[in-house]
Amino acid sequence: MKTIDQKINEHFQGLVVRKDLVKTVKGNAIVPSYVLEYLLGQYCATSDETSIQTGIETVKEILRKHYVHRNESGLIKSVIKEKGRHKVIDKISVALNDKTDAYEASFANLGIKKVLVDSDTIKKHPKLLVSGVWCIADLEYMFTDKQSASPWVMSSLKPIQLSHFDFDGYLNARKKFQTDEWIDLLVQSIGFNPEMLGRRSKFLQLLRLVPYCERNYNLIELGPKGTGKSHIYSEFSPHGILISGGEVTVPKLFVNNATGKIGLVGYWDTVAFDEFAGKNKRVNMALVDIMKNYMANKSFSRGIESIGAEASMVFVGNTQHTLPYMLKHTDLFDELPEKYYDSAFLDRLHFYVPGWEVDIIRGEMFSDGYGFVVDYLAEILRTFRNHDYSQRYSEYFELLSDISTRDRDGINKTFSGLMKVLFPHGEATEKEIEEVLRFAIEGRKRIKMQLMRIDPTYARVRFGYTKLEDGKTYIVRTLEEKEYPQYFEFSSEDDPASERTESDSAKYQQEDVPPEELKEQHLTFQENQRGVSFDKLLGPYLKGSGKITITDPYIRLFFQARNLMELLETIGAQKPDEDEIKVHLITIQDEFKGPQQIEYFEKMQESCAPIGIHFSWEFDENNSIHARHIVTDHGWKILLDRGLDIFQHYEMNDAFVISNRLQRYRACKAFEATFIKI
């Protein structure tokens, strides 16, 4: 077991489960993950392998006997009739029959209706009245001659969610984890392998949790298909509901004025709209108007009465175009239905998750480590809705004065939510608080910059903050603003107080720069930034050299050797055919896979020799090298803090994936490069 998994089991014993078990037990059961993890939490919340295997069999047996498949509903009904009583796992919804003055339950998969429910059960679980809740119920069969009476009797009902937890214990256990460890625990809890994600990518995943812990939080995520945008709202928490964007009506969402029945926002912590994008979708303008009022004022009208609610609103949808296409030709909201393509509606959003930065889900991205049983984490997040962390940066930082009240609210709510997720115990360093604050500012700025495209009447705003310790002002820039500054009419760059770095892909050297015009410089690149390649970054500085020496202790594993091979390709592409060049590698031999490492180098040597690249290598016997750099014999030294390992995980073995073929379509890790004339 990994060290982090051991630590998780030590401090959260009985509250965590191995995340790969969900797939093991799910089979063909169409049931949310939180239902399965509820059962796994009862029988498999341990690190003992024998107990886990026994627990898996128990859960499988429970599902086999008690989970209701639609095509087996007749068999289950027969079992109940013959046995007299049987426990079922099903999605149950309840409606009031005003003719009989009784509450009646319907079982979605079992297909039975008009099952009587007592008023006390409804008072305890009001969500039964809206859209249905997954429950474990005891059903009895008692035949009667009365034609209108149902033979089905429900003797007990228990919604599948945690009934209680130790909040102080959660906070105390958080103190035992370093920030990176805690982030990895949360990422594993939502089902992903943290080793496959960079820090910024982890933040983007965890941001999806904020609507569960922050009241009236309005979030939008637009991006390519297959990035898992809706998963966390459909399967993660019993307190959230995912509905199709095309199925929304005013009565369903807010209130039915004819019956007085409150809609979804009155019962759920988070209401998420799936497939929200689509220009041609029909939308009721009355719905948009009441939604705008609710998102701004946290209330809606029922006749002459105003009703408050605290449900967060999440909008997820697919984009049809690439990021640079949208920036050049349209804007980042272009895919929305016409009625929602309204600056007043969009201005009420607190954060725009850049879905184009989120990886398309692949099999290797799923975790087999330990994470919280999701209904436990769901209850924790729900409890935090009663807390406010929005001003926890005020000891160190102050938002710039020209940030409007609405912008400030968006920033503060995102900051508060992320602090609850990452630092529930309140023990964050100044640097960590600054990181969260910058991330919150960036998400709101992304919205405002697009609003200024849509509606020119919006005033220009400097999105940044002042550090109280030294009075220095920092301007926050979105990643797309750094990647594609040519598509922004103005940038924080023109502010003399802004944070200036040579970090834009548009700034670093192009392939066609003459050698005599190359300059000393320091470049920084942000995580998830695209458009970076060895040809563009390193090629101009390597061109014309007769010997290149690469020092990097980490050219051991396959992906590291592949990076080196791609650098050799860059050298070969810019070398005249008639010239020859020597490339020498200084590295450290892997303790366990040394023979395989040498095999990689021998293949490179054999492959490159025919085109005039003489590749050689040596191992540092003292294992003392740590720096990573490239030195040429014509006067350049390139310092690389990550060596050649600058790209995030991609489909390396699939020849039909474009990121495998072209480096500029890969997402980068955060790294720095310094070019020095020697």
Q: Give the tens place of pLDDT for each residue, 78-135.
A: 999 999 899 999 999 999 988 888 999 999 999 999 899 888 988 888 888 876 789 9
Give the 3-state secondary structure of residue 139.
strand
Predicted pLDDT at 668:
94
d(CA 640, CA 248): 52
Predicted pLDDT at 240:
92
d(CA 564, CA 569): 9
Predicted pLDDT at 508:
56
Predicted pLDDT at 451:
95
Q: Which residues contact 58 (CB under 8 A, 6 or more apart)?
A: 43
Output the CA torsion sign for 335, 338, 343, 344. Answer: negative
Place of tokens 């949360």: 186
d(CA 489, CA 537): 26
What domains, with CATH codes, occur in the chain?
3-12+166-372 (3.40.50.300), 70-159 (2.40.50), 388-494 (no CATH), 515-677 (3.30.870.30)
Low-confidence ranges of the chain (pLDDT < 50): 491-506
DSSP 227: S
Distances (CA, A) of 23 to 60, 91, 228, 641: 11, 20, 16, 39
d(CA 533, CA 352): 28
Distances (CA, A) of 482 to 248, 442, 465, 494, 504: 37, 12, 18, 13, 5
Q: Are the C-beta atoms of 553 and 565 separated by less than 8 Å? A: no
d(CA 367, CA 421): 20
Q: 235-262 burial, b if ≥16 CB within 10 A, otherwise e?
A: bbbbbbbbbebeebebebbbbeeeeebb
Please compute, for residue 268, the number of CA atoms within 13 A of its CA located in the half-sphere on the CB side. Answer: 28
d(CA 228, CA 217): 20
Q: 532-547 burial, b if ≥16 CB within 10 A, otherwise e?
A: bbbbbbbbbbbbbbee
Determine which helix (DSSP H) or strand (DSSP E) holds 581, and give its type and residue range. Answer: strand 581-587
Cα–chain center distance at 310: 23
DSSP 74: H
d(CA 190, CA 19): 9
Q: Are the C-beta atoms of 372 and 12 separated by less than 8 Å? A: yes
Which residue(s) pair with 668 in the sheet? 647
Predicted pLDDT at 496:
40
What is the per-residue DSSP string for 397-409? EEE-TTS-HHHHH
Give the 3-state secondary structure of residue 510.
coil
Predicted pLDDT at 502:
40
d(CA 543, CA 570): 10
Q: Are the C-beta atoms of 666 and 648 separated by less than 8 Å? A: yes
User: 304: exposed, middle or buried (C-beta count within 10 Å: 0-12, 13-18, 19+)?
Assistant: exposed
d(CA 349, CA 222): 13
Order across the sheet with 351-354: list the strands. 240-244, 270-274, 312-318, 218-223, 351-354
Q: Are the C-beta atoms of 67 and 91 separated by less than 8 Å? A: no
DSSP 648: -
Order across the sheet with 397-399: list the strands. 397-399, 464-467, 473-475
User: 106: exposed, middle or buried (C-beta count within 10 Å: 0-12, 13-18, 19+)?
Assistant: middle
Give the 3-state secondary structure of residue 131.
coil
Which residue(s) pair with 613 in the sheet? 581
d(CA 394, CA 160): 40
Phi, psi at 604, each rounded to 5°: -60, -45
Distances (CA, A) of 365 to 159, 231, 354, 356: 31, 14, 19, 17
d(CA 8, CA 22): 18
pTM for the whole thing? 0.85
Predicted pLDDT at 494:
43
Q: 147-173 burial, b if ≥16 CB within 10 A, otherwise e?
A: eeebbbebeebebbbbeeeeeeebeeb
Predicted pLDDT at 497:
41
